[in-house]
Amino acid sequence: MDFTLSDEQQAIQDMARSFARDKLAPNAAAWDEDEVFPVDVLREAAALGLAGIYVRDDVGGSNLGRLEAALVFEELSAGCVSTAAFLSIHNMVSWMIDRFGSSDVRERFLPALTSMESIASYCLTEPGSGSDAAALKTRAEKVGNSHYVLNGGKAFISGGGESDVYAVMCRTGDHGSHGISCILVEKDTPGLGFGKKERKLGWNSQPTTMVTFEDCKVPAENLVGNEGEGFKIAMRGLDGGRINIAACSLGGARTALEASLGYVKERKQFGKPIADFQATQFRLADMATELDAARLMVHRAAASLDAKKPIATQHAAMAKRFATDIGYRVVDEALQLHGGYGYLKDFPIERLLRDLRVHRILEGTNEIMRVIIARSLLAD
């Protein structure tokens, strides 16, 4: 097993690292403080091919793999976790359209999405169906062969009110997972509405709102895949989304570890740098070891998904569970090493702590990851 990156992968990693250093890191604190959605910077990332990382190149995608995506999202999140995470969501929607959409749907939507002329949001969660996604109630009634009429609502939607395209998982059939379809709803469609901007602990560089549908009339040709395939599309998308959000945890935690290494060498107590204390050294050693173990799991999951292995869903769930828990733990340890200074907004640690906390909830809670893993282990 070769853990060495290819020359192309190294170049992609270096490009993402440079972009994060130059465009994301210097602005992350201000975006968080002022709740700025940096659309112009996202479009600069798109110009580098980062808005359609694993979308085919005939519609402007980069046609790369999941491992390359994991490398990109770790580097971007080292600069700004929140902005990198939103870009991951946009990529997930673009991939769903590329993988399951008709030729017409691909050609109509993807060129603008891969350039981020249009921005995409993913609409699965509802107020009454979070972990139990198959219980969603937003309904789309088909009227003749021309259009669907949507009614219902979605909760916690990143990009709500700002995005141009909403990939909506809605019920076109009976109860259960086989009655769900995926329909693209474009901004300014009559009947599409948005709730107030949510006040969040973290992820403040991206807006989050309710998305509502009230007799929302959508062309039938905006269906992605066939009727009844929506749950399959959603779950397939989440395998990659879980790897990406795990990679985002790696990047944020790595930044916290690097900040801690610098801080403990400078901070003195009892007449010497706290880096000289064995308690500090052991803590740093554990942080680095656990972070490296999480990275290996993320890369294995990405490689499994690229290879279309049957075990890829289990690997993605394992990587997401482990990396997001470890990422948060590493940042918490970094805050402890910084002492009272880690609690101040003058230092990046408290923002990283806030931004990484939600990773243990979204793309399927870590409790649901354990359910997925256990089901795979116990399957006949």
pLDDT, position 380:
67
Burial class (CB in 10 A: 0-12, 13-18, 19+), 31: buried
pLDDT tens per residue across span 166-197: 999 999 998 888 999 999 999 999 999 999 99
Determine the Cα–Cα distance for residues 347 and 210; give it in Å rounded to an integer. 32
How many Å apart are CA 318 and CA 294, to the nearest integer? 10
> What pLDDT does residue 134 have?
84
- Report the C-alpha dihedral over residues 198, 200, 203, 206, rounded to 10 degrees: 20
C-alpha–C-alpha distance, residues 232 and 166, integer Å:
17
3-state secondary structure of 207: coil
How far lies 10's CA from each of 217, 226, 253, in Å? Answer: 46, 39, 21
Q: Which pair of tokens denotes residue 322?
A: 């482990």
The owner of tokens 């990587």 is 319
Helix, strand or coil, per DSSP, at residue 168: strand
> Which listed CATH number (3.20.20.120, 1.10.540.10, 3.30.470.20, 1.10.357.10) goes with 7-114?
1.10.540.10
So what's the pLDDT on residue 136? Answer: 94
Q: Is the pLDDT of residue 291 over 80?
A: yes
The residue annotated as part of the active site, out of 227, 290, 333, 363, is: 363
Class of domain 120-229: mainly beta
| Residues 76-103: tens digit of each pLDDT | 999 999 999 999 999 999 999 999 999 9
For residue 201, name the pLDDT band (cuts at 50, 70, 90).
very high
Closest CA to 209 of 241, 165, 162: 162
Please report the pLDDT score of residue 373 as a whole number: 97
Q: Judge whether 214 counts as a catalytic residue.
A: no
Q: Which residues is 153 bridged to in the sheet?
A: 212
User: Taking CA 61 as the corner, what is the angle to CA 58 and CA 64, rounded to the nearest 5 degrees?
Assistant: 115
3-state secondary structure of 297: helix
Annotated domain spans of the chain: 7-114, 120-229, 231-378
Residue 137 has pLDDT above 70, yes or no: yes
Would the CATH topology of 7-114 be identical to that of 120-229? Answer: no
Helix axis angle, 81-100 to 349-357, nearest 10°? 30
What is the dihedral sign for C-alpha 19, 22, 25, 30? Answer: negative
Q: Are 246 and 66 in contact (CB under 8 A)?
A: no
* 321-377 pLDDT tens trace: 999 999 999 999 999 999 999 999 999 999 999 999 999 999 999 999 999 999 999
Confidence band of 128 (pLDDT split at 50, 70, 90): confident
With bands split at pLDDT 50, 70 and 90, how would you rate the model's confidence at 316?
very high
pLDDT band at 131 (very low <50, low <70, confident <90, very high): confident
Fold of 231-378: Butyryl-CoA Dehydrogenase, subunit A; domain 3 (1.20.140)
* Most distant CA pair in the chain, distance: 80
The answer to whether 336 and 328 have CB atoms below 8 angstroms apart is no
